[in-house]
Amino acid sequence: MHILKLINMRKIFIVLLSLSIGFVNAQTMDANTAAKTITAAGLKKHLSIIAGEEMQGRETGTEGERKAASYLVSQYKQMDLTPGNAGSYRMPFSLFQDKVTASSLKVNGTSYTLDKDFWISAAAAPQKSFTSPEVFYVGAEFNDKSTLDVRGKLLISSEGKERAMSKTMAAQKLGAIGIINIAKTNPTMPSNLSGRLAFAANTNTFVSMTVSKTVGAALLGGTKEFSDQEWETIPVGKYNAAIEWSADRTSVTIASANVIAYMPSREKTDEYLFITSHYDHEGVKNGVIYYGADDDGSGTTGVLAIAEAFAKARKKGFSPKRNIVFMNVSGEEKGLLGSKYYGDHPIFPMEKTTADLNIDMIGRIDPTYKGDSMNYVYVIGEDKLSSDLQPITDKVNKNYNMELDRRYNDPKDPNRFYYRSDHYNFAAKGVPVIFYFNGTHADYHKPTDRVEKINFDLMEKRTRIIFETAWEMATREDMLKRDMPLNMPATR
């Protein structure tokens, strides 16, 4: 009986033991096993949709952008991730853009033609019309050291060594109401009639334009074009010239949205790890689609794949120590606008955000690497804000032996990549960041940045490294320390 009982006990014990081993295995599915659920085939499936024809290049504020956002939302829903913005997967924001539909210029009753006699930009066009009975000629070499009293005056400057842009800035600084720059050679580019997207409507009243030598001569009382020698002898001062300039400038409101979803933690419920990409690209220009497969379809696909891998791990019992937030921003190509909006209106506190891992272009190889040496990714920003970043990446990389190329951390590098993607708007708020990047290439910002050119095996490896880095950051006991304040970037 005893023995029998003992045997039974042993049986029960063995059954219990094997059950608990199974249970422990499920609980501790490790990062490397989970990373293997990210596959080249899975990445290709997502990217073929995100950078497909239907999305029309995903320009901010367009139907293509909205379709891409809907796709991302549908995927996060399928993964059963929590909407990031009070029950919604979208964080909407509004942008303003100036558009000039027509413009005319008359000098002393003579009409001139846009893009033949004069060139304008939407940002410096009058709201409706602008008239002036006189102009003030400042010569060719005007700058902000000028002692001329130009306050309240409309300036004319002929072409010299000083650049038109710096003359325009000097005129603004010294209180002029506008400046007309005379070009010795007419611009070959048409006027820029669509202004930059901005968070507020344009309230600029300073007017500026470029005019041909013919118009320039008319403004200064000439009846024909001046010769080069004559230009040099024209005295500085006031000239009578009846100017009538009109522009049909309207400010359009554009609706855009960041997409945001997260995996909640049951432990450190007030701490966050961000994984980001930008899902917008350049859209359609002159009827040609800019697909943006690498930029940044690849990063957006990477974020989706990482979210999927975490969701699969969660089904096997994984739970992160802190919340993992997946955010795809828009407006990046227009000046990092979506991430700027998030940075200025954070949903989750920046001081409780341990890090932002930003992925922008991980599907290609730049000309620095080729052939056997293409096993690399640029990691940027690890040497700033937190000394915890680099050891984590190095540890994770032991599973991958990838070349983690840190050359762009050099503050003297002229590319300034650290300032050129969305992680910057986290870093500017003190959040440690890593920017994953493959470098630029011949198809960068060209219609040829297409899915067919993506190296999915390499992209798989890069995405897995980022996933394991995220896993480490989401499961470690403490938030990353912010111990390198002196390395904090001051300005873009």
Residues in contact with Zn ion by the rule CB under 5 A: 295
User: Letter for the amino acid at 235?
Assistant: P
- Can you tell me whether residue 286 is helix, strand or coil? coil
Least separation in angstroms between residue 340's CB and Zn ion is: 15
Nearer to Zn ion, 441 or 461 (CB): 441
Nearer to Zn ion, 295 or 356 (CB): 295
Nearer to Zn ion, 295 or 460 (CB): 295
Nearer to Zn ion, 158 or 328 (CB): 328
C-alpha closest to that of 454 among 368, 362, 363: 363
User: How far apart, in whole angstroms, are the C-alpha atoms of residue 213 and residue 158?
Assistant: 9
- H-helix or E-strand spanning residue 345: none
Residue number of the CB atom closest to Zn ion: 295
Least separation in angstroms between residue 278's CB and Zn ion is: 8
Least separation in angstroms between residue 309's CB and Zn ion is: 25
Least separation in angstroms between residue 445's CB and Zn ion is: 6
- Can you tell me whether residue 489 is helix, strand or coil? coil
Task: Note whether 106 and 132 are within 8 A (CB).
Answer: no
Nearer to Zn ion, 59 or 159 (CB): 59
Nearer to Zn ion, 295 or 405 (CB): 295
Least separation in angstroms between residue 333's CB and Zn ion is: 5
User: How far apart, in whole angstroms, are the C-alpha atoms of residue 107 and residue 105?
Assistant: 7
Task: Note whether 354 and 473 are within 8 A (CB).
Answer: yes
User: How far apart, in whole angstroms, are the C-alpha atoms of residue 456 and residue 436?
Assistant: 16
Least separation in angstroms between residue 59's CB and Zn ion is: 12
Least separation in angstroms between residue 65's CB and Zn ion is: 14
As a residue count, the chain comes to 492
Nearer to Zn ion, 299 or 381 (CB): 299
Q: What is the dihedral of CA 337, 258, 428, 362, to 10 degrees?
A: -90
Least separation in angstroms between residue 47's CB and Zn ion is: 16
Inter-helix orientation angle 456-475/40-50, to 10°: 100
Q: Cis link prior to 296 (omega < 30° from 0)?
A: yes
Nearer to Zn ion, 117 or 332 (CB): 332
- List of residues 6+ apart from 434 with CB closer than 8 A: 355, 356, 357, 358, 379, 380, 381, 382, 389, 393, 423, 469
